[in-house]
């Protein structure tokens, strides 16, 4: 259960950090605009889902770092 709660915190932080709506995040990460709503509604993610979403968050983090690097030049 701790893994799921930690995952939910990670998703919530990504939504705030990257200023993306829950629907857009779910659509981009999983091809499912209702993913975040269902996650916070109690649907337990599989390990494969967690890995897929974590990969998407990592991609968002890399993109943000690149934009910041470009602006600093």
pLDDT band with cut points at 50, 70 and 90 for residue 1: confident
Whole-number pLDDT of residue 49: 98
What's the CA dihedral at 15, 50, 27, 59 to 10 degrees? 70
Supply the pTM of this predicted model.
0.91
d(CA 23, CA 20): 8
* CB 64, CB 18: distance < 8 Å: yes
Q: Is 7's pLDDT higher than 90?
A: yes
Residue-wise pLDDT for 16-26, tens only, equals 999 999 999 99
């Amino acid at each position: 259960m701790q893994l799921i709660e930690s995952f939910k915190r990670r998703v919530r932080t990504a939504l705030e950090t990257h200023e993306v709506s829950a629907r857009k995040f779910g659509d981009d990460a999983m091809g499912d605009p209702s993913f975040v709503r269902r996650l916070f509604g109690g649907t337990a993610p599989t390990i494969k889902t967690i890995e897929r979403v974590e990969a998407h968050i990592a991609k968002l983090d890399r993109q943000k770092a690149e934009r910041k690097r470009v602006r600093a030049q």
